[in-house]
A and B are shown apart, each in its own frame.
Chain A
Amino acid sequence: MTKKITIEPVTRVEGHGKVTIYLDDNGNVVQSRLHIVEFRGFERFVQGRPYWEAPVLVQRLCGICPVSHHLAAAKAMDVIVGAGTGDGLTLTGEKMRRLMHYGQIFQSHVLHFFHLASPDLLFGIDADPAIRNIIGVAMKFKDIAVQGVMMRKFGQEIIEVTAGKKIHGTGAIPGGINKNLSIEERDRFLYGPDPMNVDKMISWSLDAVNFFKDYHKKHRELIDTFAAFPSNHLSLVRKDGAMDLYDGVIRAIDTDGKKILHDVDPQDYLKYIAEEVKNWSYMKFPYLVEYGKKDGWYRVGPLARLNTADFIPSPLAQKEFEEFKAYTNGKPNNMSMHMHWARLIETLHAAEMMKELLNDPDLQKDDLVIKGTRVNEGVGMLEAPRGTLFHHYRVNENDQITMANLIVSTTNNNEPMNIAVRCVADSMISGQKEITEGMLNAVEVAIRAYDPCLSCATHALGKMPLEVSLYDSKNNLIDKKRT
């Protein structure tokens, strides 16, 4: 008899997701799948709209990572207005956008670690769900919880001054930016009262990295083996191989570290990346064309970025990067839970980059926009908090968008998340007579490591409980749990 376990929706991830795990007569896992309901209608919605509206319109897509979509669309429109890519902008234009982006990376990573991951780490995966949350952290580890709150607030305030406003920011426009950073705005972040200044953010980021490393020492087996599996890794890197979260060329490596995509121009991504449709999921499965659907899938996000980059161009993060790389003897790190370690190193890097940019006088200059010869097609790519984000548009002679293709970070991680679920199901659920809440949470922990965002911006529609259903081989519902 085959049993089916359904976890629907997965808690603490965006949008609608459910997990089904099929068991055979002996209770062994025979198949597992992560199903995701994703809004794809957006690509059609933008058709017919003037191209210059795209950087604002795309923020309707997702209320969680609107800044990433804002900047990716603006980068695509840079190409269309003839401003080129990356360093084609004015120094002020590019650096203001970078500051906005690092603010976004910082606040998003902080939220993920302190709000989502730390309860599992501090209390244990199988701890009582009543305490395994940020409120539980607040009660037992108050200092850590306060740090999380203030660090996120700092990142949000960086976004507000660079994007112009909290909702539907207008900072990035085709060919540049619509404002610079005033001295008053700059000083607020450089010299603000404790703890709201960038030096404190760097110090706390370093503390967070050390917290994780200390935890790792005490729980090495869990962190090193939980949902670990070999994979390819893909991200943008700077042309010299440095980590660059805002701009660069596309690099992919295999599980042994061999380059399998050799620093290609994002404008050519369609030559190298395709998407497979599967009949059981609304979300597509991207893969490297040269290696096919079976072997060409890859991971994106913090772990992938630390695997693909040759170095990190900020001193404290570089030191941590070296330690991270040394742990696997310079080989790619394929341990899913090390995603948290990588994320915290990136948090530190983002804090350092914010400080470097805040001290840069180019941010007070007035040369904000550049334009050149208009073309009809552009690709904008960046490394969003969760991974590589692709925005591709075509426009007609009337300046209307005729085609949009978006590959979001969570879509890039679709296959890895499915494999992570299978790993955990095999190791923790197979052969067990009883499915406990702790086991089900373990499946979710594996998914949460990838910090998926399923584009459910309309929060009024997103209020759904966790539902777990158990089916027998004839699809009869034999058990159901709801949180």
Chain B
Amino acid sequence: MKVLLYGYGNPGRQDDGLGNEFINRMQEWVNKESLEGFEFDSNYQLNIEDAHAISDKDLVIFVDASIEDIPDFCISKVTESSKMSFTTHSASPGYVLDLCKKLYDKSPVTLLLHIKGYEWNFKEELTKKAEDNLEKAIDYFKEKLRNPISLIQFEIPEF
């Protein structure tokens, strides 16, 4: 089973780097635990080439910071979406998944982990509250990644 964990955001903008930091820490943990079948990636934003990157995966977990009024973190199942995102040079997870389906006829199970952030200034440091949320999300996924097949049949949990 091939699993891709992909965080995106700008770590130079405080909590916008939550997704990137999640990837850093999970990669370290997966290596330490010698778990197999995982790939990690991190970037400023998703883009069209990511449709190719996810096309040979069974499970994809995108990780992003959120400014919305959500719990400390939340997980949703990504569905294909042809809706353009507002920004020119970035794409939403649903958009990437849709492009993957159209171009490569593949539809990996795709989840989106949102971690709540609070501050977005020119600083390379997570806020304390965002750090707490990150830790909670990591603890949750450490358990799940030991048996990633459970995430394939993922039901949105209560948080």
Contact = CB atoms under 8 A, between A and B. Distances in A.
Nearest to B86: A464
B10 A458 contact: yes
B16 A460 contact: yes
Most chain A beta carbons < 10 A, residue from B64, B65, B98, B103? B103
B47 interface: yes
B90 interface: yes
Nearest to B95: A135
A133 interface: yes
Interface size class of chain B, counting residues whose CB lies under 8 Å from the partner chain:
35 or more
A9 B12 contact: no
B46 to A, nearest CB: 9
B76 interface: no
Interface string A1-45: 000000001011111000000000000000000000000011001
Interface string A450-467: 010100111111111110
A134 to B, nearest CB: 6
Interface in B47-88: 47-49, 51-52, 64-67, 82, 84-88
A457 to B, nearest CB: 5
B84 A133 contact: yes
B43 A153 contact: no
Contacts of A453: 88-89
B9 interface: yes
Given A453-B89, A457-B13, A166 B43 contact: yes
Contact of B12 (A13, A59, A145, A463): A59
A197 interface: no
A156 B43 CA distance: 11
Name the prevailing secondary structure of the A interface residues: helix
B89 A461 contact: no
Contacts of A200: none
B103 A459 contact: no
Contacts of A460: 9, 15-16, 64-67, 117, 120
B124 interface: yes
Given A135-B82, A135-B95, A167-B42, A462 B103 contact: no
Interface string A107-141: 01001101110000000000000100111101100
Contacts of B48: 111, 114-115, 134, 148-149, 152
Interface in A22-78: 41-42, 45, 57, 59-61, 63-64, 66
B86 A463 contact: yes
Given A66-B44, A166-B42, A167-B43, A463 B102 contact: no
B159 interface: no
B45 interface: yes
A153 B49 contact: yes
B86 A9 contact: yes
Contacts of B11: 167-168
Interface of B: 8-13, 15-16, 20, 42-45, 47-49, 51-52, 64-67, 82, 84-90, 95, 98-99, 102-103, 117, 120, 122, 124
30 contacts: A15-B87, A57-B12, A60-B122, A64-B44, A64-B88, A66-B44, A108-B89, A111-B48, A115-B48, A115-B89, A116-B88, A130-B82, A133-B84, A135-B82, A135-B98, A138-B103, A139-B102, A149-B103, A156-B49, A167-B20, A168-B12, A451-B88, A453-B88, A456-B87, A457-B12, A459-B16, A459-B64, A460-B9, A460-B65, A466-B86
Top 9 closest pairs, chain A to chain B, by CB: A60-B12, A63-B44, A138-B102, A135-B82, A153-B49, A45-B122, A63-B10, A460-B67, A12-B88
